[in-house]
């Protein structure tokens, strides 16, 4: 089962990632978007109960699109882990 999809669009200079919200927490995705907004233009679209599609476009040309996509994905996972750590 493929629960995420990372697309590198070198022509537009964007990274597009789809998250299945039944697996990945919408709050973690949105927190990651907020944290990445200093270095990227960010956009989110979709249904917060099903799937969220995000687009990241680096503000600097020094940022690798491939690295950005996987770093964002890993950051979402870290946000989910952190959120679970605070549950009692």
What is the secondary structure of 22-57 as a DSSP string? TTS-HHHHHHHHHHHTTTEEEEEEEETTTEEEEEEE
Say whether pLDDT at 3 is over 60.
Answer: no
- Write the Ramachandran bin of 46: left for phi over 0, alpha for psi from -120 to 50, otherwise beta: left
pLDDT in tens, 5-59: 899 999 999 999 999 999 999 999 999 999 999 999 999 999 988 999 999 999 9
Q: Model-level pTM?
A: 0.85
Number of domains forming the structure of the chain: 1
Per residue in 57-85, pLDDT (tens digit) is 999 989 899 999 999 999 999 999 987 76
Rounded CA-CA distance 14/68 in Å is 10
Question: How far is it, in rounded angstroms, from Cα 29 to Cα 50?
Answer: 13
Query: Is there a domain that residue 47 lies in?
Result: yes
Please check whether residue 20 lies inside any domain of the structure: yes
CATH number for the domain including 34? 3.30.1360
């Amino acid at each position: 089962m493929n629960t995420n999809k990372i697309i590198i669009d070198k022509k537009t200079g964007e990274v597009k990632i789809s998250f299945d919200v039944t697996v990945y927490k919408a709050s973690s995705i949105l927190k990651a978007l907020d944290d990445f907004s200093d270095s990227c233009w960010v956009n989110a679209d979709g249904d917060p109960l099903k799937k969220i599609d995000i687009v990241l476009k680096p503000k600097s040309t020094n940022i690798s699109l491939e690295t950005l996509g996987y770093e964002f994905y890993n950051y979402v996972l870290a946000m989910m882990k952190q959120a679970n750590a605070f549950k009692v």
